[in-house]
Structure 1
Amino acid sequence: MTSNEHVPHVVVLGAGFAGASALMELAHANVQVTVIDQHPYNTFRPLLYQVATGGLNPGDITYPLRHLSARNNARYRRAKVTGIDEERRQVLVDNGSPIDYDYVIIGIGSTTNHFGVPGAAEHSMSMYTRADALRVRDAIFGGLEKIAGESETGTGRFNVIVVGGGATGVEMAGAIAELKHAMLTPTFPELNPSEVNVILVEMTDSLLAPFDPSLQKYALRQLIQRGVDVRLKTAIAEVAKDHVRLKGDSTIRADLVVWAAGVAGYRELADWGLPTGKGGRVIIGDDLQVRDHDRLYAVGDTAINPDAPLPQLAPPAMQMGTHAARQIVRRTRGLPTEPFQYHDKGILATIGNRSAVVQLAGGIKITGTLAWIAWVALHLWFLLGGRNRVETLINLAYRYVIWPRQTGAIIGDVARPPSQS
């Protein structure tokens, strides 16, 4: 490389599953890389519900972006992206000067989709960020402390409503139910477990929509056995401070509503001048390039190919991040881009201790303890950082194996549940 040779600059927006995969793929290419994220850490989102129910510390599932960037020959800029100036080829940020680019990979993820339900944004809690998980955790333990103080009057009651029967909703409802049975009696002897209710509301007629019907039925049975009140074919009409109103005008008292019903793209993507489609996601072509926008690629939950939509899950995001990085490297070498092909290796979800569902691409279906072990192993494998893997393994073993009926939950501050705030 001569001193006057231009080295292409790739700017990666967001360091989630897709952005981190792109970053690692570009590590040994002849390019400069800058990753921009407003959070100084990568979050392993599939385990956020464990943080929210006191099973893991937030540090167990987060990894410093400065370390990740340095390991992969990149620079990190902590900032929020405010736009992309394609004429000047600059990424605009709220912290510091604009960043010049040759190529951009947009992987900022997605945010909670409330589907226009009145009051949902104001009176429910999401499970999409580390801060979200901590708020939910503090509200859960705040609610338990509150009804413990009301035990002598007999007025104690804590209703947690989980909205959405996908993997996040099922895992969250199962974890709260197990938390109730495992720790309530030894930790809150003044409480009766019947005073804590977990209600899972799903508008369709089944849980875990992408899974085989036999696995859906297994998940339903397991949740019911754990004491979860599962209400299928039930739609939310409104979320209020202390109750939810269902379509049909019946109501359920709610001390805490956890919204896990779906995700959508960030509204500002359209303000950046990018084409957006279903769910506010950026429209891309077969090679993951943003439609009609040269040098811009979109990956993961941020993107959608209308001709071949993919589920908003970690595996597609990781493969898309890697593929987009490879296409940029091909272009720097004067080679044409290649279409993206998703390799589906299977999906999995856990319901609780020794209970999970695994559906492999070849049609193999696994349930129970073996599926749960596979779920634990896969999540440990994809966690960033050896220390995080060890700490997560220890905490999960403590929760589910060593003392599964006397779990000492990891808590922080307690907060008033939304119904009392």
Structure 2
Amino acid sequence: MAHIVIVGGGFGGLSAAYELKHLLHGKHKITLISDETTFTFIPSLPWVAFNLRRLEDVQLPLAPLLARQGINWQHGRVTGLDPNQKRVSVGEDITFDYDYLVITTGASLAYHLMSGLGPEEGYTQSVCNAHHAEMARDAWDEFLENPGPLLVGAVPGASCMGPAYEFALLADYALRQEGKRDQVPITFISPEPYLGHLGIGGMANSGKLVTELMKQRNIDWVENAEIAEIKEDHVKLTDGREFPFNYSMFLPPFRGAQFLKEVPGLTDEKGFLPVLDTYQHPDYPSIYSAGVITQLAAPEETEVPLGAPKTGQMTESMAMAVAHNIARELGEINARPVKPSLEAICMADFGDTGIIFIAAPVVPDPSVGHRRHATALRGLWVNWAKNAFEWYFLAKMRWGTAVPWFEKLGLYLLRLTLVTPISETPTQQKDLTSIKG
């Protein structure tokens, strides 16, 4: 009996655990380690910040979910990893030996890279995790008592611009609902070379849709903006321009978990894990990874640094590939190895409208220089679709299933896939070790 240890209880961790349980038929032991006691549906956190959703409505307790599926759960923070001995340490005195390790930790929020950034030791809010979303909500309630300039955006090196757009336009919506929009000038400050770039060179008509919406909602913007410093009441750019604020929300850069960076040669300089097409580590084949922690190249260099986004659907596709490949190595399925398609549907809700982005794949295929297909569509129906997807995803996490057949069918009808077969020849696997995350 093999022991598969999964580190992380978010999108990637639960999806990998459920799919492994399905593919391994209970013949092998699965342990999930998480420093959180709940699963949080991260895409809903902007709603939490504006009192449009209660946090408890987008969270599920991990212990009963995993117990129902016969998956072992260990609450605690991973403090050490020995990939040679195949051992993980949790806290001060708990260790797990593994045959396969799946790392789905998400990313550490690198607020420390810029003084004044972040809600705990700085002056800006965030919606990157549940605790910070609650802090953003409390700060928003105070802001409504003393409205003034509002700044939203991202600092250099950020890699997922969608939540910033969602926050800026939801703020406009919430302020109009409160009758206070005329008291709050909103400015969007972005490291992107143009609105709608999204860290992936844009897609279809994304730039046009986003720009039109910003104009319609009277939101000013600064493109190609490099923030130099953040003070208690203003942001200063490297070109000398200053922008005052009474409330601000800026997305931080992401980095890898500390316990990974402490293993020599395991990660790149930012703490992200390099992978082969199978999503195994090139030097430690017993280690797989999925989600934000995985190294992925941005499709192009920009004047102000940007990272490539890794959406929830991309994370799911990585988790499906990892589970498939581990089950194959254990001899539980007879199939070719697969790689994640890295295609994505991203829904951004703006209160009374929204934009859906579909990209296949998210990062254009370097061999041809473009995506197979991409589109961006706007409408109130996006709000309904995101609400429906939130309900559906939380439901399937309760059911204990990763990607049921009808979801795969729906993706197929949209010309999207989660995984694709790859060659079994190692020389034909694409080694990503030289790519900077």
Q: TM-score range by the shorter chain?
A: 0.7 to 0.9
- State which drifts further: 335-344 or 49-58: 335-344
- Asked whether the 8 Å contact 2:14–2:397 carries over to 1, the reply is no
- Asked whether the 8 Å contact 1:358–1:367 carries over to 2, the reply is no
For 1:4, the equivalent position in structure 2 comes to none
Paired with 1:136 and 1:90, the residues of 2 have a C-alpha distance of: 38
Q: Which of 23, 30, 34 lines up with 2:17 in the alignment?
A: 23
Q: Does 1:162 align with 2:159?
A: no
Q: 1:54 to 1:71 in 2, by over 3 A?
A: same
More helix by proportion, 1 or 2?
A: 1
Please identify the structure whose Cα radius of gyration is greater: 1
Q: 1:288 to 1:359 in 2, by over 3 A?
A: closer
- Asked whether the 8 Å contact 2:172–2:181 carries over to 1, the reply is no
C-alpha deviations, 1:393-415, integer Å up to 9, x for none?
xxxxxxxxxxxxxxxxxxxxxxx
Q: 1:364 to 1:161 in 2, by over 3 A?
A: closer
- Alignment map for 1:129-144 (pairs within 5 Å): 129-144=129-144
For 1:79, the equivalent position in structure 2 comes to 76
Q: Cα distance, 1:168 vs. partner?
A: 0.5
- Alignment map for 1:18-417 (pairs within 5 Å): 18-28=12-22, 29=24, 30-94=27-91, 96-114=93-111, 116-121=113-118, 122-145=122-145, 147=146, 157-164=147-154, 166-183=161-178, 185=179, 192-209=180-197, 210=200, 211-212=202-203, 214-260=205-251, 262-273=253-264, 275-277=266-268, 279-304=270-295, 311-333=309-331, 338-342=337-341, 344-359=343-358, 361=360, 362-384=373-395
Amino acid at match of 1:126: S
Number of residue equivalences: 365
Unaligned runs of 5+ in 2: 155-159, 300-306, 361-372, 400-437
Which secondary structure state, in structure 1, belongs to the residue aligned with residue 205 of structure 2?
helix
Which secondary structure state, in structure 2, belongs to the residue aligned with residue 300 of structure 1?
coil
Paired with 1:310 and 1:193, the residues of 2 have a C-alpha distance of: 33
Q: 1:70 to 1:114 in 2, by over 3 A?
A: same
- Asked whether the 8 Å contact 1:274–1:282 carries over to 2, the reply is no
Paired with 2:235 and 2:48, the residues of 1 have a C-alpha distance of: 25
For 2:417, the equivalent position in structure 1 comes to none
Amino acid at match of 1:26: L
C-alpha deviations, 1:228-249, integer Å up to 9, x for none?
2322232211101121112221
Q: Cα distance, 1:325 vs. partner?
A: 1.7
Which secondary structure state, in structure 2, belongs to the residue aligned with residue 280 of structure 1?
coil
Q: Cα distance, 1:61 vs. partner?
A: 1.1
Paired with 2:397 and 2:271, the residues of 1 have a C-alpha distance of: 36
C-alpha deviations, 1:275-320, integer Å up to 9, x for none?
2226431111121111211311111111125699974111111111
Which secondary structure state, in structure 2, belongs to the residue aligned with residue 377 of structure 1?
helix
C-alpha deviations, 1:70-94, integer Å up to 9, x for none?
2322011110001112344321011
Q: 1:385 to 1:329 in 2, by over 3 A?
A: closer
Paired with 2:98 and 2:252, the residues of 1 have a C-alpha distance of: 36
Q: 1:163 to 1:366 in 2, by over 3 A?
A: closer
Which secondary structure state, in structure 1, belongs to the residue aligned with residue 377 of structure 2?
strand
Q: 1:336 to 1:371 in 2, by over 3 A?
A: closer
Paired with 2:273 and 2:14, the residues of 1 have a C-alpha distance of: 19
Unaligned runs of 5+ in 1: 1-6, 148-156, 186-191, 389-421
Q: Which of 4, 13, 16 lines up with 2:7 in the alignment?
A: 13
For 2:364, the equivalent position in structure 1 comes to none
C-alpha deviations, 1:186-207, integer Å up to 9, x for none?
xxxxxx5432233211122323
RMSD: 2.8
